Amino acid sequence: MIYSKIVGTGSCLPEKVVTNEDLAMRMDTSDEWIRARTGIRQRHIADVSQTSSDLAVPASLQALAAAGMAPAEVDLIIVATSTPDHVFPSTACLLQARLGIKGCPAFDIQAVCTGFVYGLAVADKFIRSGQHKSALVVGAEVFSRILDWNDRSTAVLFGDGAGAVVLRADSRPGVMASALHADGSHADILSVPGNICRGGIAGSPFLQMDGQAVFKFAVKVLNGVAREALEQCALTTRDIDWLIPHQANVRIIDATAKRLGIDASKLVVTVDRHGNTSAASIPLALDLAVRDGRIQPGQRVMLIGVGGGVTWGAALVEI
């Protein structure tokens, strides 16, 4: 049997840090208000000149270095992003060129905050098919570009960043199971309902969200999809060493862990320092926990995400 295994992780955060106090100087909010509702105390914001691919390049190079691989050894590139550099070409193709890689397939996945889990599951299937021996999977976002900075209900939640992993074919299971879902009938609870039309913008270019609806939906589906992935391996929540949820807000994270019966000591939480970085949030948290030594080889990590679409998914991986 051919399996895929994560052999390297990497990340990149913009230099600029925006604290809750910084936001309180420009809108009607406060550090106490933001922390109580989200758990967020700061986020990284990209410079106006920085794009998703600008963040994806150093994250990818870190992951490749950790894997002991040269860029030329990559034969599949998947970038999960809702904030691509251009309408086209894809951010994956731009990343491919900047890494000096030629010829391998490269494409973007748009599943918003679930994008990295979608990308990981797709790359796993490509490698298991036997047609590819390695894959670079990246979540990269500059969500600051699609925020209305006068709207405290959304602007305080998000940040920018990129996280990456390298997958390689292996005889031992790495990505043990995955489960992906979507339900477009809930598209209106989290969306950016605009598009480019004849040189202008049709609709709104800003993120809009029904926070209560998103919370209720997220807690319900994250519990279910995590259990679905475990059932594929005949495992239970007791077999999980670490849980890395999408870093939306601490209330969703805590409620999900409680429903799964997973102790807070097994949670990897970065939302306090990164905010919600959409498709980048899970790989950023994974890289941090690998590099600080919390996640060790042989441990099982459950990755779960939910995002606009509405999309949701889980991947159970053994490091």
| 304/306 Cα distance (integer angstroms) | 7
Q: 80-116 in b/e burial notation, b at 16+ Cβ within 10 A?
A: bbbbbbeeeebbbbbbbeebebeebebbbbbbbbbbb
Q: How close are the terminal C-alpha atoms of the chain, in Å? A: 18
CA dihedral of 139, 144, 147, 148, whole degrees rounded to 10: 180
Say whether 44 is catalytic.
Answer: no
Long-range pairs of 230-239 with CB within 8 A, sequence gap ≥ 24: 230/177, 230/302, 230/316, 232/176, 232/177, 232/179, 232/316, 233/176, 233/177, 233/316, 235/300, 235/316, 237/261, 237/262, 239/300
Q: Which residue among 44, 132, 246, 274 is the active-site one?
A: 246
Are 90 and 51 in contact by the 8 Å Cβ rule? The answer is no
Say whether 20 is catalytic.
Answer: no
| 272/162 Cα distance (integer angstroms) | 16
CA distances 185 to 229, 264, 311, Å, are: 24, 33, 11
Q: Which residue among 113, 132, 223, 274 is the active-site one?
A: 113
Are 227 and 15 in contact by the 8 Å Cβ rule? The answer is no
Say whether 113 is catalytic.
Answer: yes
Q: Active-site positions?
A: 113, 246, 276
